[in-house]
Each structure stands twice: as structure tokens, then as C-alpha cells.
Structure 1
């Protein structure tokens, strides 16, 4: 769970000329990448005219924009002081994600100290040891369905710490654990046949009937989930045959030592207190599901619940208060890098918002779509939404800014509003687990202990497959003038 690997030298891959060469060509540290993105954003503020849209009340009391109100404002390019302050402002702005990352890391470390995670992993590993591949499609189908119904990709933050020990114990790696959660939730969120966050809100903003066009979205959902499952299974089979083919072979050294219970001849025997602690933990997860479904709980509410959960489960299992506190501290340390990255990534958006060029970029991208040939207009909308997702990696946030512009534009360029919403869904969803500006995504990688650079190497081929699938669906929707 976000464990780093300072001692991996004991278990290295054989070094050869090729490995030495590739090590010299490795990508820079994620901090360097994000710093460069922030510099580019700051430089952009000197060339892009400052402008803004008027904000008005939208569906469900959300603030959206008036698409006909764009006007220029006094330029305020990023000064050296503004640039310096963008990073702490980013940490503050992304505070809920940063805090949630720390809390969930701490809570699961407390659960590990109780021993109930090791017991659960031992039991499940022995159950699935002969059919370990089956766990991948089962979990991905469940996670994708949940996300398509309630629209919370952020649940990946809950899934990964739960499944990571099992995945490692079954002979796979941290990327498989991250992929099961991230790829499944992304497929469900992107197609979103009943997703209130992107489909529902987008259709309300465009004046469409809620959840209309279900058939085409359901087809997209099934195809994207199948593609995602087959892709993850292909990688899983490869590293099952040869563990050194794993992209995180060295990084997972400590986790393999910690979770590899499948070869143990001794079964874990739960004490009475551990059994009671397991039941208590399940009750808390039941409360979590109820809160998310019935009361729209999000990160702050879940963070509070996880604090109480760690304390109560720890006490029931027989941990002292000091052991519980140290468990939280160890968990905080294990996800420190990922939590900090979330805030640093937010600096890009902070720079553009403070310089008032975010709306200008939206306006310019909207104008660009209008110049695409008619048959490619829907594809142009997809490209625009994908690019904008780098700046605003939030489904609802992106909808509130772009749909009021794209929906009326669609009528002018011969694209149905239903197709415009689909282009938004595809563009928003696929970038959420690619761009380092996506807070929940970077936090999930931190919990899995996977570096962003290595995830990109794993995900890019699947991103290409999903992008191709999206373009095919958009072309079909454009040809048939799909309107649900």
C-alpha cells in the first residue's frame, strides 16, 4: 500500500548493456514533470488573452457559465511571486484529496497491524490459487458497474488498498492492482449509461431527457469493459509466466516479501478479537456504501469515517492507543509522496485560473471545433474535451464549463446534443487516468506504490484502444444523427 522500496537492491534484474542504456533514458521525476507543466502554464498566461464567462445558477444549484457572455478582462499574467505561490495554493485547493489520501493510507496500516488483512489475504489466496486469473474480470465487472451507476471514480482509492495484498499474493504486481481499480472505474465512468456525474449532469445542461440514449452508451460500456479486461489479463498472464516482465518488478520487492503467503505452509488462525475486528470492519464498509449511495458522501465524509474505523477496529482487535497512532503515522509516511503530488499537480489549474485564461482557452477551443469538417465535428469535440481534461480533471467541473458552450455549438455545426455529451464523456473519462493533474488518480497510484511514469507505459496502449473505440462510436453517432 504505497510502500517504497529502498532495499530492492537485494532482488535486482540482471544488469546488462540494454538495462544500463534504458536507465539513462528514464523519464524525469514526477516533480520535474509537474514543475515543467506549471512553467508552461505560467508562460502561456503572457500570450493568451485574459477573459471570462459570467457564472449563473445551473442544474441542482450548481454554478455554470452563460455561453454568450464571454468577454475579455484586464490581463494578469503570472508573476514570479504568483508562480511561487501556485504550489502551496495547489495543495490547499486539493486539500480534500490530499487529506483523504493520508487518512486512507493510515487507516489501512492500522488494519494491517491488527492482522486481519493478512488473514483475509491468506484465505482468499488459498481459494483462488488455482484460478487466480478469474479474480481480474470478476472485480473489474463489479467495479465498472458500480462506477457507471454512481459515477465515483474516486472509489479506486478504496479498492486498491483492499485488493493490493491479494493481487501480490496471487503472483501479480502492483500495476495489476491499480489497473483493476482504475481501468474498471474508468470504463464504467466513461460510458456512464446511468452515471449522474457526467451523463446525467451533461444531459441536464444540454436540455436532454435524463439518461436518454441508453442503448448506445450501454453498448460502449460493454465493449470498453471487455477491452479493458482483456488488456489487463494479457499483462497478468505475461508476468505470471515470468515475474521479471513486470514493469514494477524491483519496486514490488518489499510487497512480495510482505504479502506472499501462498507459499506458506502455516495457515493463519484468527483469534476471537480478530474475528470481531473483521466483522466490525465489514460493518464500517457497509456504512460507507450506504453513505455514498444514500447521502452522496464524498472524500471529506469518507475521511471522517475512516478515522473512526481505524480507531474502533484497532481497539476491538486489541491494539493499544499508541499502536493505533503509530499505525496511522506509518500509513501517512507510505503515501506522503503521492499525497504531495496531488497538490503540486493542482498548481497548473491554479495558475490559469488566477490569470483568468481558463475561460479564454475554453472559448478558443469551442471556436476551433466549429472549423472542423462536418463529419469530423464530433471527433473535434472529443479532442477538445480530452485536452481540457488536462486542465480540469473533474467530470462535473468539466461539464459545467464546457457543455453550455458545446451544446449550442453542436446545433450550429450539425452534431446532435446527445453526440456532444458522448464526446464529453469520452474525452473526460479517458484522460482521468493518464494526466498527472488528476488528483484521485495520482493518489491511487501512491496507494498502489506505482510511479506515474511506469503507469503511463502500461496504460498508453489501452488508452489507444479505448480512444479508437470512442472515435468509432462518435462517427457512428454522427452518421446516424443519434439523438437517443
Structure 2
């Protein structure tokens, strides 16, 4: 028989046992930066010679790799990597601030509340249909123009409606992020990854369209079904949301919309809404026809916030305060973007990024053709952690992978697809992806909780990618 003291002693450890919690994203990224700094002492420094590439871009000479003098990142150098990361990622950081401020101005005008009220009433009995429609539209746009960063614009636009219909912030973020990344990755007519990758590999631009179209349909279908499954669960029981506590304020703002008496827009709000739509038309025109990116879009959004706010009846002081509140709401996410960039800054300072790319590329050379194609995909998945730009990854890796494909019996078309699949889907998984972390900040979703939601879909996409590459190699796709 155990006495009371013994029982208490045995039960005490159980009381102290705590459930594992994912560290804060600041901690995760700081650890990544520190580990990167440590590796600069052990991985030999090396570099490729940079040469002019397609469309005036700089690429590498795949036969020029050579070792250089070791430049390990010391303690003093490490102290500056986070500030320099913020500077290097300044375009994304400030775009995050501007878009947060502009949409807060739109909220203050009341036109978002009016629009959400009308849409919530219209879709109240068929709300689930918004998921396939919006996801597909975002995917089609991304696969044609290659701007996955437009998810930063989509999220704040659809967020109030998604919340009003009984879903959560993750659902809104998933519709925008998964839709755009599927379109970008499949790259049916995407000049950023498909076009550039094929140019660097000596292939006709946009050749092999049929298989990429199949990849697009399969992956976007998988995304839609996955998001719908989660959304239905949240609709049935909101407490099962991964961001239930974080969405308290949003639910208070929007869940009553569409249920009480219909909201009528004032004459000034109607004119403000028309002008806002004109600005969005200008945005689309600029992105498609003029090659606008974050700097140009940020400038347009500043003017848009001021003009639309004034037309709606806001005073200049009210507009300024709305911008300030929007800045505060996305402050953490904007800082995370710079913190993520610090990892690449460390690798560049230590001159080991090229060494890592060269070593990973060489590992594929000893595999049989079908496995080599999969190996190329795995290599691209790893490389995207340190080179989060799709075009940047193409410029660094495809001059290596294209001739390597010839050596191991993999078609160059398959090598380009391996780059697309390995680069694309990881854009909304790795915390080193700047626009992705900015999008999560705008959505108000922590990276750790996004990973809990997204990881099963990422594995599904990875399985589709591997099967596709094996089939492509078996049929000699070219």
C-alpha cells in the first residue's frame, strides 16, 4: 500500500508537465540566423562568376564555381544582420505598412462595411461557393502574370466578407495565398518562373503547356477541397478555429453584418466606392502592362487612401490617424519580413550560398533519371529557404540544373518543372519568404498556426509534384 505522501510525490510531476508550445516567430528566425552564422565557419566559401542573362538580368556561369577566402560571420558582424535584413527587405516592409494603412482608411470610410453587408446577404445561403470561385480566380491571375504578391492585396479585401459569412482569418488567408501560389507554381503562362526558367534552359518559352495545365487543375482542386473541408468545420463550430481568440475583434466587427437591417450607403460613400474601384483598375493595368511592383503599388495606395477618404467625408487628420492605426496593426509582420531576410544576409556575408547551391546540385548527378528528377525537386525545395525569390532562384539554379539534366538523362523541360514545383509551394511555408510573412501579418495569422493548418496540404502538393515529375521523365516530356 502506498501512503498519501508517496502518492503526492508520484502525481506531482504529472501536474508540472506542460504541453509543447512552438517558439515565437522572432525566436525561430533568430535561431535560423544564428545557425547560418555558425555554418559560415565550417562550410567552405565559394562563388560562381556572374554573367549577363536574359532580359538584362544577371545569372551565373555554371562552370565557374571556385572556392574563395573564408569570410565567417563574427559576433560584431552578426549584430548588424537584422538591421541590414530590414534594409534589404525595405520594399516589402514598407509595402506592408502602406497596405495596412490604406485599408484602415477604407474601413473608416464605411464602404467596406456596406460592401460586405450586400455580399453577405447575397451569399448567405451559398457561402461555401465563394471558396472555389475566389481561389480559382486568384490562381488564374497568378498563372498568367506571375504575381503571387497580389495576395497582399486580396487578403484585406476578402477578409471582412469571409468573417461575416462565419469563417475565420485562416480561411481568408488560405483562399488568397493558396490560390496565388498554385497559379504561380504551375506557371501555365507565367513569365516569372516558367518563361525565365525555359529561357535559361534553352527551351522555347511556354512550351510544354499541356502538362503544366494538368498540374494547375490538379493542384488547385486539391487546394479548394482542403480549404472547404476546414471552412465547413469552422462554420459548424467556430471554437475549432486555430485563430478563434485572435479573431474576436473581427467577429465583433463583421459577424452581425448581413443579419440586421440592411446598411445603406450615403451618396459620398457611393462615390468613394466608385473611385476606389477605379484605383484598383489602375492597379491591375499597371501590374500587367507597366510591370509595376511593390514600390509603384505602395505609391498608388497612398494616393488612393487620401483621395477615397476625402471623398467619403473624412478629414485629413482622420485619414492620417487611420493610416497610423493600420501601420500599428501590421508592425509585427513588417518586422518579421526583415528578420527573415537576415538569414540570407548571413549566408551572403559568409560567401557560402553559392557553395550550398553547387553542392546540392552535384548530389543529383549520381541518381538514375527518374530519381534524379525527384532529386532536383528536393534540391529546389531546400534552396528556396535561402533564395526566396522565384526569379532569383531560377537565375542561380537553372544554369546548373539544365546541363546537369543532360548529363543524367533528365529532359530539360522536366528540370524546369522540378524548379517550378520546388520553388513555388514553399513560398507560403518558409518563414524566410518575405511577401508570405507580410500576408500573414495583414491577415493577423501567426506563422506557427498557419503551419498547423497548411502542412497537410503542403504534403499533398509534394506528393503530386513527385508523381508528376516521375511521369514527366517516363514519357520523355520535352
Is TM (by shorter chain) over 0.5?
A: yes
Cα distance in 2, alignment partners of residues 270 and 205 from structure 1: 53
Cα distance in 2, alignment partners of residues 402 and 111 from structure 1: 42
SS of equivalent residue, structure 1 residue 370: helix
Cα distance in 2, alignment partners of residues 151 and 69 from structure 1: 30
- Compute the displacement of 1:277 (Å): 0.2
Equivalent residues of 2:398, 2:416 under 8 A apart: yes
Counterpart selection for 2:374 from 363, 368, 379: 379
Cα distance in 2, alignment partners of residues 462 and 226 from structure 1: 11
- Compute the displacement of 1:374 (Å): 2.7
| Residue aligning to 2:277 | 282
Cα distance in 2, alignment partners of residues 44 and 474 from structure 1: 32
Query: What are the superposed Cα offsets for residues 295-331 of structure 1, whole Å, 9 maximum, x if unpaired?
Result: 0100000000000000000011110000000000000
2:186 matches 1:191: yes
SS of equivalent residue, structure 1 residue 64: strand
| Residue aligning to 1:134 | 129
Equivalent residues of 2:118, 2:258 under 8 A apart: no
Cα distance in 1, alignment partners of residues 429 and 289 from structure 2: 30
| Residue aligning to 1:321 | 316
| Residue aligning to 1:102 | 97
Equivalent residues of 1:122, 1:261 under 8 A apart: no
Judged with a 3 Å threshold, the aligned counterparts in structure 2 of structure 1 residues 21 and 386 are, in CA distance, closer, same or farther, namely: farther
| Residue aligning to 1:37 | 32
1:362-373 pair list within 5 angstroms: 362-373=357-368
Cα distance in 2, alignment partners of residues 338 and 396 from structure 1: 24
Query: What are the superposed Cα offsets for residues 60-102 of structure 1, whole Å, 9 maximum, x if unpaired?
Result: 0000001111111111000101111100000000000000000
Equivalent residues of 1:129, 1:262 under 8 A apart: no
| Residue aligning to 1:348 | 343
| Residue aligning to 1:339 | 334
SS of equivalent residue, structure 1 residue 444: helix
| Residue aligning to 1:76 | 71
Query: What are the superposed Cα offsets for residues 17-68 of structure 1, whole Å, 9 maximum, x if unpaired?
Result: xxx9997311010000001101110011011111111111000000000111
Cα distance in 1, alignment partners of residues 338 and 265 from structure 2: 40
Equivalent residues of 1:122, 1:262 under 8 A apart: yes
Equivalent residues of 2:120, 2:258 under 8 A apart: no
Equivalent residues of 1:203, 1:421 under 8 A apart: yes
TM-score scaled by structure 1? 0.95
SS of equivalent residue, structure 1 residue 346: helix
Unaligned runs of at least 5 residues, structure 2 = 1-14
Cα distance in 2, alignment partners of residues 132 and 342 from structure 1: 33
- Compute the displacement of 1:385 (Å): 0.2
Cα distance in 2, alignment partners of residues 293 and 68 from structure 1: 36
1:362-441 pair list within 5 angstroms: 362-441=357-436
| Residue aligning to 2:107 | 112
| Residue aligning to 1:59 | 54
- Compute the displacement of 1:193 (Å): 1.0
Greater C-alpha radius of gyration: 2
| Residue aligning to 1:216 | 211
Cα distance in 2, alignment partners of residues 78 and 380 from structure 1: 30
1:288-307 pair list within 5 angstroms: 288-307=283-302
Cα distance in 2, alignment partners of residues 229 and 318 from structure 1: 40
SS of equivalent residue, structure 2 residue 260: coil
- Compute the displacement of 1:375 (Å): 2.3
- Compute the displacement of 1:372 (Å): 2.1
Equivalent residues of 1:345, 1:437 under 8 A apart: yes
Query: What are the superposed Cα offsets for residues 117-138 of structure 1, whole Å, 9 maximum, x if unpaired?
Result: 0001111101111100000000
| Residue aligning to 2:81 | 86
SS of equivalent residue, structure 1 residue 56: strand
| Residue aligning to 1:228 | 223
Judged with a 3 Å threshold, the aligned counterparts in structure 2 of structure 1 residues 366 and 294 are, in CA distance, closer, same or farther, namely: same
| Residue aligning to 1:11 | none
Equivalent residues of 2:121, 2:258 under 8 A apart: no
Unaligned runs of at least 5 residues, structure 1 = 1-19
Cα distance in 2, alignment partners of residues 61 and 23 from structure 1: 56
> Which moves more between the two structures, 361-370 or 20-29?
20-29
Counterpart selection for 2:145 from 145, 150, 162: 150
| Residue aligning to 1:26 | 21
Equivalent residues of 1:150, 1:195 under 8 A apart: yes
2:3 matches 1:47: no
Cα distance in 1, alignment partners of residues 251 and 219 from structure 2: 31
TM-score scaled by structure 2? 0.96
Equivalent residues of 1:377, 1:413 under 8 A apart: yes
Judged with a 3 Å threshold, the aligned counterparts in structure 2 of structure 1 residues 469 and 166 are, in CA distance, closer, same or farther, namely: same
Cα distance in 2, alignment partners of residues 312 and 44 from structure 1: 51
- Compute the displacement of 1:261 (Å): 2.9
